[in-house]
Amino acid sequence: MEKGKDLSKIDEVLSQRVEEVLPKKEGLKKLMQERKIRVYLGVDPTGKNLHLGHTIPLRKLQEFADLGHEAILVMGTGTVLAGDPSQRESARPKILEKEIKENIKTWKKQVSNILDFSKVKIRQNGEWLLKLKLKDIIDIASNVSAVRLFQRDMFQKRISSGNTVWLHEVLYPVLQGYDSVFMDVDLEVGGSDQVFNMLVGRELQQKIRKKEKYVLTCPMILGTDGKTMSKTSGNCIWINDSPKDKFGKVMSVPDDLIISYFKNLTNVSLGRISQHKKDLQTGRNPKEVKKELAFEIVKTYNSQREAEEARREFEKIFEEKQAPSEMAEFSFQEKKMNILDLLVKTKMAFSKGEAKRLVVQGGVRIRENTWTDWKGEVELTPGVVINVGKRKFAKIK
């Protein structure tokens, strides 16, 4: 049997890392057995970086491609101009064309570890959205109820708190929905925050082309502080983060997210994950499980080798409290220097005031001994290691 039509494979793709399939999983399953389907994932190039949450639908898209279906990644060069209002308490700031181009460039690089571009096509929806004439837009819009667009949670919240909703924001789902029609897709995948937008596309497809479009939503991942991962809250683990940072950030994630991270962000088998779950319940040190998670994540998004290095560094610095193997080095003409000046010059403090604070609070160590005299002079012998807090290190050359 062709692997694309293997029922158990189809089942797997439609259930693992999937929140729900609308309107019904059965119909899509049947369709996938009958023929090659066209599936797409849309992303708006709003920022420079992608975080781990974005990887879930991206990987899902690749899975469809691997089964031999036609997968398209759409860069929202048209929709980004309207700005997706989903989960937004205020309108997005306008974006410049230059930024859009740069974002697309860096995004391609970032997803290249996840998507196989020989199987996944990339398109830009500006290609068709920006060519629409007023008449086209009116035609499309006549298929969507304005009341429905306004009923969205976020809009209601804004209205009741005295904020406004802009017309272009209301238009957003309509534009995104038209992507489905233009490309004539059978399925759209996206994060569960996208259900509304994706369903508008389904409705348009039904009304304009008289065809069914399925919608598959992926779970959203929570960030390092246990709240929804989002740029503005600064709780993201970025694809671009260095292996060391990624490892550390995963270690700082709340314990009860461990299993969900395993499921959604790694390739670890379900059997192994349920073993981890049992271990956690029976009192195994969550730190150990989390270290394994961090290792897996770095391995998935970077490489096995980098994962091993990151783990070693982590153990060294935080468990054995040793200095990292690599640190910034500084060389000076002077033989001695005031501790405050030294901290500022080695960029471990932004100002002398901050440097003083760090010294007084006992956060500064020189040669592993806490240095408390903020008026003191430090001898700049080569090889001396200065560290501030747990994470900042510098060495005299």
Partner RNA sequence: GGGCAGAUGGCAGAGCGGUCAAUUGCAUCAGACUGUAAAUCUGACGACUUCGGUCUUCGGGGGUUCAAAUCCCUCUCUGCCCA
Using CB under 7 A as the criterion, which residues of the chain lie in contact with RNA when the complex forms? 162-164, 225, 234, 244-245, 247-249, 251-252, 254-255, 285-287, 290, 314, 318-319, 340, 344, 350-354, 356-358, 361-363, 374, 388-392
**C-beta of 29 vs 365, nearer to RNA:** 365
Task: Give 23 or 254: the residue with its C-beta nearer to RNA.
Answer: 254
Q: Minimum Å distance from CB 354 to RNA?
A: 5
- In the complex, the smallest distance separating the C-beta of residue 164 from RNA, rounded to whole angstroms, is 2
Residue 95 contacts by C-beta under 8 Å, 6 or more apart in sequence? 46, 80, 81, 83
The residue among 272 and 357 lying less far from RNA, judged by its C-beta, is 357
Closest to 280 (Cα-Cα) out of 268, 269, 290, 266:
290
Report in angstroms how near the CB of residue 312 gets to RNA at its nearest: 13
Q: Which of 336, 337, 354 is nearest to 392 (CA)?
A: 354
Q: What is the rounded CA–CA span in Å between residue 190 and residue 215?
A: 8
CB of 340 to RNA, least distance (A): 7
C-beta closer to RNA: residue 108 or 352? 352
**Please, which contacts does 223-230 make with residues 24 or more away whose CB atoms are closer than 8 Å?**
223/53, 223/253, 224/249, 224/252, 224/253, 225/254, 226/253, 226/254, 226/256, 226/257, 228/87, 229/51, 229/52, 229/53, 230/87
What is the identity of the amino acid at 247?
F
Q: Is 210 left (phi over 0), alpha (psi -120 to 50) or beta?
A: left
Closest contact distance (angstroms) between CB of 76 and RNA is: 23
Query: CA 307, CA 131: separation in Å to the nearest integer?
Result: 46
CB of 346 to RNA, least distance (A): 14
Residue 213 or 392: the one with the smaller Cβ distance to RNA is 392
Cβ closest to RNA, residue 150 vs residue 318? 318
